[in-house]
Every structure is written in C-alpha cells, then in structure tokens.
Structure 1
C-alpha cells in the first residue's frame, strides 16, 4: 500500500516548485548570485523529510562550486530534523571545499530548533542577509 501526502504537488517541465510560491508541503527556493564568489539561496515553506532533498541538492551544488553560500531561511515556517541534517552536511561540505556557509535565521520556526540542538553554535548564524554578506568585509 502506498500513502501519498495530499499536500505535495508534483511538478514537471520548466516551472518547478523551486520557482513558484510554496504551499503546505512544498519548498520555495530562490537563488541569487551576489558576486562571482557569493550566492544567496532564499528558502520559504517547510523544510522536512519531503522537501529537504531538494534543499540539499541546491545548496550542495553551490558549495561544491566553491562559492560562499548564504542560506536565507527567513521565509521558513517549519524546520524538521531532515532540514537540520541538511544544514550540518552543508557546513561540513563547506569546510571540506573551503567555502563559507552562513545561515540567516530570524523566525522562531528556525531559531528554536537551532538553539534546542545546539547547532546555532556549529555554523555562522546571522539575523539578516546583509549581516551575513558583511561578514566577508569584516575579515
């Protein structure tokens, strides 16, 4: 027997969930290249076991390219354990590749799991994209 989540909408073709506004069970991703070496990935919606693989693929692709990745999670309404695992993997991959990985977290849905697990201390967490981008200038 197969159970399918009624909130998950399959997409195909040129328009995908990454380019549309998220509904329950979907993830919205917007990628913006700030400079040749800095990419901002803005996330909205729920990051759970259904959507985490999409986030993982997108974030790791940019880290593998050796760019600084700022993951803007200010639009995230839920962050589950699968999403936390993506953040840990991205931070580890960034260290291996020599790429900076920064997280923007302002919503309680994100800050609370980060604080509860202690992961807010593991990687760089900022209150805004501008603050995360300014971290390069401060060095």
Structure 2
C-alpha cells in the first residue's frame, strides 16, 4: 500500500495537500483491515484523503465496508474523502452495492 501526497490545486494560492492511499492487489476480508488502518491514519492526519484503487485486482464487500467507514469518519471529522481509479471488478462491486455515487 503506497501513501504519497499531491497538490490538490496547484493554481491556488493556498491549498492543503491531498494524501493518496493506494492499495494494490486484493482487497478482501483478510486485507481490508490493513486498508482500513491506513485510511484511518490518513484521515486523522490530513484534511483531504483519496483512495486510489487503480492497482486493485479484486475488491470484495469487505472493501466497500472500509470505504464507507472512511467516508463516515471524514464527514464526522470535517475532512474530505474520495476514491479514484476504480475500474473493472472494483467499479462493478461499487455499482452492485449501490455506493458508487457516494464517491463521485
């Protein structure tokens, strides 16, 4: 799982950095808690967190649960949380569970 920061808007005079959490491989019942811990740590230390799912090969309902928990934590803490790069099976799981719209 990679973590890095990138500017949110390089043309703005002042902007916070977005922290990117990028899991790779499988996000399932076994690995979802690791993603959850990474997202919790990120949300506790950054005002803007993005989960980049581009390198995820398999995504289960356990991963959906982790994303929903992260979105709720961000909302309660006044942070921003987003996802990007969801394709293939990941996008399909988000669509089937009817949560895809929460992360657009």
Greater RCO, 1 or 2 (C-alpha within 8 Å, sep 6+): 2
Q: Secondary structure of 1:56's match?
A: helix
- 1:82 aligned to 2:82? no
Give the TM-score taking structure 1 as reference length. Answer: 0.65
Q: Secondary structure of 1:74's match?
A: coil
Residue 4 of structure 2 is matched in structure 1 by 32
Q: Superposition RMSD on alpha carbons, in Å?
A: 1.3
Contact 1:63–1:69 (Cα < 8 Å) also in 2: yes
- 1:104 aligned to 2:84? yes
Residue 57 of structure 1 is matched in structure 2 by 37
Residue 45 of structure 1 is matched in structure 2 by 25
- How many residues are matched? 96
Cα separation, 2, equivalents of 1:106 and 1:68: 18
Contact 1:32–1:39 (Cα < 8 Å) also in 2: yes
- Structure 1 runs (4+) deviating above 4 angstroms are none
Q: Secondary structure of 2:53's match?
A: strand
Contact 1:77–1:107 (Cα < 8 Å) also in 2: no
